[in-house]
Chain A
Amino acid sequence: MPNRKFTNKPDDIVNELLEGFVLAHPDKIRLAGSNLVVRAQPKAQDQVAVVTLGGSGHEPALSGYVGPGMLDISVPGDIFAAPGPPRLVEALEMADRPAGVLLVVLNHAGDVMSAKVAMQMAQAKGLNVKQVLTHEDISVPSRRDPKDRRGLAGCLFVIKVAGAAAEKGYSLDECLAVAERMEKNMATLAVATAGASHPATGQVIAEVPDGRMNVGMGQHGEAGTGEQELKTADATARLMLEMLVKDLDVQSGEDLLVMINGVGSATLMELYIVLRQVKRLCDAKGINLARTLVGEYLTVQEMGGFQMCIARMDDELLELWDAPCCTPALTLC
């Protein structure tokens, strides 16, 4: 794939990206320690800290969610690669406080391994850290083991409600319970219409032939199982929503939070057209489209297509979702 990206030396991409990112949002975030993204104004020590980790190249995720109402610290890794345990331990020590620390981990091999080693070290150091794993991708055929499911853009829901709970003074166990309830009640499905390339190596990480789409393609271009003829927005939205609603067993009368997340080159126009169809389908089923979010929240370079994330909401989750937040990539007020 020809390089059409404005970058400098491949080895400098992550550093330069982070430098620009904090320059763009000096009122909200800054860099601390070994390239950890932290809040410009730390929150009170009697509130639980929320920390996450993840590869770079998915901007604005995940560091875009550092700020009041959401994360305290984000540990960015190399392009599409988890940070190692030492920087994660550094972040956990930095976040350590009497109220405790909640670590949000997306289910990808490198992230899970780094978190496992870091959690063991944190515990050996006597830190009070608990972990929630997001694994809501329903495309993985094996339903026997939910741990096989990848963590996609739904992590945003978990970070939002856990962050709000922390801000409201929930205990670590209460924050964990809310995060886990959100996680269990959400499902994501991705569709790709065009591939993407690795910004450092130029390697094509996903390929979708012209006129085709791939339902279930992951956020590193991992193949889904559903390559098929490209369909209209309405037909694609129907196909995906049916699978999601069935997986979560959403019933008539229930409240849904729906996010249509553009993964890189999908236009906002497309995303709005998809959301409109989601609303029609929900109306027909008697499902209440309680909250919506449309935009680019977790991207995969220039990949075409979107992730559809749905979540069944209860009163408490809705209240936490509606709580104010002010971060570079999501502001609700």
Chain B
Amino acid sequence: MNAIGYEDIKRMLLAAAELIRAHHQRLSELDSFGGDGDHGTTMVRAMGCLEKGMAQAADGRIDDLLNQVGWAILGVDGGATGPLFGSLFMGMGQAVGDRDAVDVVLLADMFEAARESVANVTQAQVGDKTLVDALVPAVTALRAAADKGEDVLVALDEAARAAQQGAEGTRDMAARFGRARNRGEASKGQPDPGATSMALVFQGFAQGVRTHGGS
């Protein structure tokens, strides 16, 4: 499909929430190696906030939908998870503005804005074993797909694949940010829980668009 609309964005958000819920135990388990083992439960709460934010959004406005979702996730009170994932959606919402159809170029703009919005709250770079390791390659893949004029769904699939690879790639990294960094070399051997969550979110975005087949 060439462009997606408000209902597609809603399906993307709900599919991401569903995937996170399905994998929350795995996320907490990953967090138990470097953190305090609550990433899965925090992400499940964040997804509850996401749905609450969706319910508060003015019908039909993509930017309001994403801003409400972002604001609600900011309020999850779960350490870094709220500011990071909340900023992601707020960034997307700011970039879309008042437009009601999102083509692949606008989608790439929105995800680049999301990446910048996350960079505003963390100095973590690629290679630091954080969600940035999934986010940055996903956004790069999405932009590359947009430059080639790919279909929106193809672009989202490529972004999801890149995010997944990025998350997997954190397995051999030593953490340099957050609580896990204090474990240094001992943090190697497991993928980063935040990067894994980010990859699930991108996977959910692609699934949300695919299930409907476009509008």
Contacts and interface: CB of A to CB of B under 8 A. Distances in A.
Interface string B38-50: 1001100000000
Q: Pick from B38, B80, B182 the residue with the most CB of A within 10 Å.
A: B182
Given A80-B79, A82-B79, A84-B74, A117 B38 contact: no
Contact of A85 (B28, B42, B83, B177): B83
Nearest to A222: B182
A113 interface: yes
A198 B182 CA distance: 18
A324 interface: no
Given A84-B86, A85-B74, A223-B183, A109 B38 contact: no
A203 B83 contact: no
B78 A78 contact: yes
A286 B71 CA distance: 55
Contact of A86 (B28, B37, B75, B184): B75
B132 to A, nearest CB: 12
Contacts of B75: 84-87
Nearest to A114: B83
A110 B71 contact: no
Interface in A61-99: 77-87
Contacts of A82: 77, 79-80
Nearest to A34: B75
A113 B78 CA distance: 11
A223 to B, nearest CB: 5
Contacts of B193: none
A135 interface: no
A81 B83 contact: no
A328 interface: no
A6 B129 CA distance: 36
B32 A203 contact: yes
B191 to A, nearest CB: 18
A147 to B, nearest CB: 9
Nearest to A10: B41
Interface size of B as a range: 20 to 34
Interface string A209-231: 00000000010111110000000
A80 B74 contact: no
B56 interface: no
Contacts of A86: 71, 74-75
Contacts of B77: 77-78, 81-84, 87
A85 B38 contact: no
Contacts of A198: 36-38
A contacts with B: majority SS: loop
B contacts with A: majority SS: helix
Nearest to B72: A86
Interface string A97-126: 000000000001110011011001000000
A86 to B, nearest CB: 4
A117 B79 CA distance: 13
A109 B179 contact: yes
A8 interface: no
B215 interface: no
Contact of A81 (B79, B86, B121): B79
Nearest to A110: B79
Contacts of A120: 120
A295 interface: no
B6 to A, nearest CB: 25
Nearest to A139: B182
B198 to A, nearest CB: 15
B179 A222 contact: yes
B127 interface: no
A117 B117 CA distance: 10
Interface string B170-205: 000000011100111010000000000000000000
Interface string B6-30: 0000000000000000000000100
Report, nearest first, the 5 A-B pairs whose CB atoms are least far apart: A203-B37, A110-B79, A222-B182, A81-B79, A113-B83
22 contacts: A77-B79, A81-B77, A84-B75, A84-B77, A84-B83, A86-B75, A109-B80, A109-B177, A110-B78, A110-B82, A113-B80, A113-B121, A114-B82, A116-B120, A140-B182, A200-B41, A203-B36, A203-B38, A205-B36, A220-B36, A223-B183, A223-B184
Given A55-B79, A110-B82, A224-B182, 7 more contacts: A81-B42, A82-B79, A83-B77, A109-B177, A113-B84, A140-B182, A201-B38
Interface of B: 28, 32, 36-38, 41-42, 71, 74-84, 86-87, 120-122, 177-179, 182-184, 186
